[in-house]
Amino acid sequence: MEVIARLLRFAENGKLARGAITTIAAEIHLHRTTVSKIWHAFRRNARMPSSRPGRVDPKSLYSTDYVSNLVSGVPEDQRNTLRILSDATGLTLGTLHRKLRDGTIQRKSSRIKPLLTINNMVERVAFCETPDAYEFDSMWDAVHLDEKWFNADKNRRKVYLVKGQTIGRRVAKSKNFIPKVMFLAEVARPRYGPEEGVRFDGKNGIWPIVKY
């Protein structure tokens, strides 16, 4: 222990200073190889795991069954994020993170599936057979008008579930039939200069299309 006590005076963050082993070996009249072996053995023993039997972590306040029943009773539209789920169940964010890590709750995603009719399927096949002989246009003198939407629901929505629970099916004729508010956006190709860089970023503006 005397060797270790002397070496620890030269240690910082578990690493010895340069020449520490040689200095201590000269002070206590031992070969530096012997001092080196003592130091490495001390470091190996210091990193050994605890020998206490059983689990030593703090006991969880909420059982797996309790959390599963609590989460499964919450509507899916209140399970999109952990923060919303925390408000709906009364569980803390830390508890939900731990239950997500141990597999009690799972994160899944759902997409709205197209509700296709026979005519829709025929039109899709006809579109795929359209010839592809198109000519490229640089569009330097063109302005593009596009509609932007704010949807009442998402095409892809994230929901937290418990083991054995399946995500609810959401259907619509297509994602274009989700209730939405339209915005009109006007853009063009950006302009760049050799010295000043971007002269025009291509964004003219965006305006809501509302009924007065």
Q: For 41-88, give the DSSP string.
A: HHHHHHTPPP---S--SPPPSS-HHHHHHHHHTS-GGG-SSHHHHHHH
Domain definitions of the chain by residue range: 2-46
pLDDT tens across 54-96, in order? 555 567 788 888 989 999 999 988 888 999 999 998 989 999 9
- H helical segments located in the chain: 2-8, 20-28, 32-46, 64-72, 82-89, 93-101, 118-128
Q: Which residues of 67-91 are buried (b: 16+ CB within 10 A; e: fewer)?
A: bbebbeebeeeebeebeebbebbeb
Distance CA 94, CA 83 (A): 10
| Bridge pairing between strands 171-172 and 113-114 | parallel
Determine the Cα–Cα distance for residues 87 and 78; give it in Å rounded to an integer: 9
The SS3 call for residue 5 is helix
pLDDT per position in the chain (212 positions), as tens?
A: 677 787 788 887 777 888 888 888 888 888 888 888 888 888 777 654 454 555 555 677 888 889 899 999 999 888 889 999 999 989 899 999 999 998 889 998 888 888 889 999 899 888 888 777 667 788 888 999 988 877 778 888 888 888 888 888 888 888 788 877 788 899 999 988 888 788 888 888 988 887 64
Tell me the backbone φ, ψ of residue 191, rounded to 5 degrees: -115, 135
Cα→Cα distances 161→83, 91, 92, 102, 112, Å: 14, 15, 16, 13, 18
Which pTM value belongs to this model? 0.37
